[in-house]
Structure 1
């Protein structure tokens, strides 16, 4: 079996994705874009069960998947909280690494737009989101039609 293209092209695709996140969020550096992406992914993960988070991780591009699970210490017995409204979620995003966090108020929608423009399979993304708790689809809503 040949090496899957998603792994062979992972660095190149991730670099393009990070540039898109940086530009969409109107940030100055890839470092700022990384921390914004990481905060958005980790906030989303915090509202899912372990199985739900793994289902979502399974459709992410390889490097984004690694960031999604980075540092995760899941409690398999925990019941995740539901998704609060967007303003609460954005506060959660901004609270991660508070002193170094430059995520704009639009970070969740900006990252969602960049993710949908990336190499991710949009059909797989929508299928997984539709199987997750109420609020998951809205979390990854861009507020605009980018297709």
Structure 2
């Protein structure tokens, strides 16, 4: 069997996300975009159980999947979704001396990642979690 294309293109696809986030958030470098991306993914991950997190990771391209699960203390209980202000404080706490994320980092990352993911699959997955999960990703709750 040949190597699946998503693995062959993983670095290129990951770099495309970083460049997209850099440009969308008007960050100076992809290094800053990386920290912003990692911080937002961690904030979201903290609100998921391990099983939910692994299911979410399956929706991500290879590079994002690796970043999402990296350094995960899977023994920590899932936290509740908080106000956007409180979750932004969590974003800024990652490498706080070197974190130059924008005040809209969560929205910036969500906007960019939705362009790189299967949006329907993402929305259906989030709907199975909670309304706050949908809101985190900028979706309205689904009608019954």
Say if 1:39 and 1:96, in contact at 8 Å, map to a contact too. yes
Counterparts of residues 39-54 of structure 1 (less than 5 Å): 39-54=39-54
Residue in 2 aligned with 1:136?
133
Greater relative contact order (CA < 8 Å, ≥ 6 in sequence): 1
**d(CA) in 2 for partners of 1:3 and 1:135?**
37
Aligned residues: 140
For residues 50-94 of structure 1, give each alpha carbon's deviation from its aligned partner in whole angstroms, at most 9, with x where no partner exists: 11111111101100010101111211xx54121011111111101
Residue in 2 aligned with 1:86?
84
- Stretches of structure 1 that go unaligned for 5 or more consecutive residues are none
**d(CA) in 1 for partners of 2:101 and 2:139?**
16
Are residues 1:103 and 2:101 paired? yes
**d(CA) in 2 for partners of 1:90 and 1:104?**
9
Counterparts of residues 22-101 of structure 1 (less than 5 Å): 22-75=22-75, 78-101=76-99
Instruction: Give the TM-score, by structure 1 length.
Output: 0.88
**Root mean square deviation, CA, Å:** 1.6
User: Which of the numbers 100, 120, 125 marks the counterpart of 2:122?
Assistant: 125
* Alpha-carbon offset, residue 43 of structure 1: 0.7
- Stretches of structure 2 that go unaligned for 5 or more consecutive residues are none
Say if 1:22 and 1:28, in contact at 8 Å, map to a contact too. yes
- Following TM superposition, the consecutive aligned residue runs of length 4 or more in structure 1 with deviations greater than 3 angstroms are none
For residues 10-68 of structure 1, give each alpha carbon's deviation from its aligned partner in whole angstroms, at most 9, with x where no partner exists: 12111111100111111101111000000000111011111111111110110001010
Residue in 1 aligned with 2:110?
112
**d(CA) in 2 for partners of 1:4 and 1:63?**
14
Say if 1:109 and 1:142, in contact at 8 Å, map to a contact too. no
Q: Closer, same or farther in 2 for the Cα pair 1:116/1:54, shift >3 Å?
A: same
